[in-house]
Structure 1
């Protein structure tokens, strides 16, 4: 039996998340069905991150076992033929049987895109969070600096039993004019890119952090409020950013 590692990109707009569910279409379920159609094997697919419904990926990592001797390049091409166009296998490689996509991960890198536009462009309604207001990026960067490092994030996000996570990088940039996406019906709306890398994430943790940063940018929260929320000294809850602006960029091993 070979253990195959896949690097996967997907548009999560029409899926109920990564994890297979009985009564919903999911990324894992669709790929497992494609593997079965290709190999005749019902092989569980284990992903590095359980992205929520509507969340996208540029570099999700997942593994499965197979007794098939199909060459890796041919396997990747065949799976892409069987998969819908909004799910693509970017890489396929054989790995050691001891490799585990979750336990062996050193860090995960997420991206969140925000537009200040009031009128979203029809091509990116499900790819960017349109907040319809201007924010102070300088204040957001100051708040981000308070979140970098090791913290107990159980005060802001549901815990997985390991609430202490280390945020290694949290960068906020104005990428207006990058031609990454058509921004909006308005040419003067800014596109803001939040890049966050950590050794692990709790459920909804990235979206909650983004929600906090946006509230700071709108001057509804101050830096002391962020510190109080993080320390558990505040009962205030920030808005949880919607899933469709979030991208799993890559997983490092």
Structure 2
């Protein structure tokens, strides 16, 4: 049975995340429906990561088997004809034996986009950008953002930046987060685009990421970038291993799965 590897880009706005959920429209479910319509085969495509509701992808890698004998170029064309415009298949190729989009991945890169304040009173976000950026609530210093972001490079326990299990939080005012929250970040930095919008982009590459980890990092860095939290406090937040020590969770709409490496 041929095994396929595809790269997808999608606008996460209309979807309840990647993973199939009963009664909800998801990216995985929509792709599975497209494959069923084209081949008559029921398969569950495996993604490199389970993006949340409203999170986008520029390079989501997907693997799936098919019995149908179809050339890669034909499959690419047919999928893009059947899928909605919010999901595009960028490439399709036959995968190497044993390849799995999630288990075979060694590094992932995410990007988070912030529209900085462009007036003294508020951030005016153009409607065509609104689903894809966080309009900054406060003025931000690029230098302070980078000072904060540099502290998380390396291998750390990221419990302070992991989503808390709501059931556990209900039972215990100071929930103990699950073990095995150690991850390695190879790069963590901010850049600002030239031009009138001047988007701030946070780029982070790691061996893996905990649930909401990137959004929690961004929310904390924004606290530092707006001088509401000393950037030098990030190591202490990491050491606390307590979600309540870190800043708020940034909105999902600014987050993109950028690239997956194998």
Q: What TM-score results when the alignment is normalised by the length of structure 1? A: 0.92
Structure 1 CA distance for aligned equivalents of residues 19 and 97 of structure 2: 22
| Structure 1 unmatched runs, 5+ | 178-186
- Count of matched residue positions in the alignment of Structure 1 and Structure 2: 243
Question: Could you tell me whether the CA contact under 8 Å between 2:15 and 2:54 is conserved in 1?
Answer: yes
Quote the residue 2:180 is aligned against.
162
Structure 1 CA distance for aligned equivalents of residues 253 and 213 of structure 2: 15
1:118-133 equivalent positions in 2, closer than 5 A:
118-133=123-138
Structure 2 CA distance for aligned equivalents of residues 236 and 203 of structure 1: 17
1:238-249 equivalent positions in 2, closer than 5 A:
238-249=247-258
Question: Could you tell me whether the CA contact under 8 Å between 1:176 and 1:192 is conserved in 2?
Answer: no
Quote the residue 2:173 is aligned against.
none
1:1-253 equivalent positions in 2, closer than 5 A:
1-117=1-117, 118-158=123-163, 162-177=180-195, 187=196, 190-232=198-240, 235-253=244-262
Question: Could you tell me whether the CA contact under 8 Å between 2:57 and 2:257 is conserved in 1?
Answer: yes
| Structure 2 unmatched runs, 5+ | 118-122, 164-176
Cα distance, 1:233 vs structure 2: 6.6
Structure 1 CA distance for aligned equivalents of residues 229 and 52 of structure 2: 26
Question: Could you tell me whether the CA contact under 8 Å between 1:3 and 1:94 is conserved in 2?
Answer: yes
Cα distance, 1:147 vs structure 2: 0.6
Cα distance, 1:215 vs structure 2: 0.5
Structure 1 CA distance for aligned equivalents of residues 39 and 250 of structure 2: 39
Structure 2 CA distance for aligned equivalents of residues 193 and 223 of structure 1: 18
Cα distance, 1:191 vs structure 2: 1.6
- 3-state DSSP of counterpart to 1:190: coil
Cα distance, 1:47 vs structure 2: 0.3
Structure 2 CA distance for aligned equivalents of residues 48 and 98 of structure 1: 14
CA RMSD for the aligned pairs?
A: 1.5
- 3-state DSSP of counterpart to 2:201: strand
Cα distance, 1:190 vs structure 2: 3.5
What stretches of structure 1 move > 3 A for 4+ residues in a row?
158-162
Question: Could you tell me whether the CA contact under 8 Å between 1:174 and 1:193 is conserved in 2?
Answer: yes
Cα distance, 1:161 vs structure 2: 5.3
Structure 1 CA distance for aligned equivalents of residues 125 and 231 of structure 2: 30
Moved more, 231-240 or 88-97: 231-240
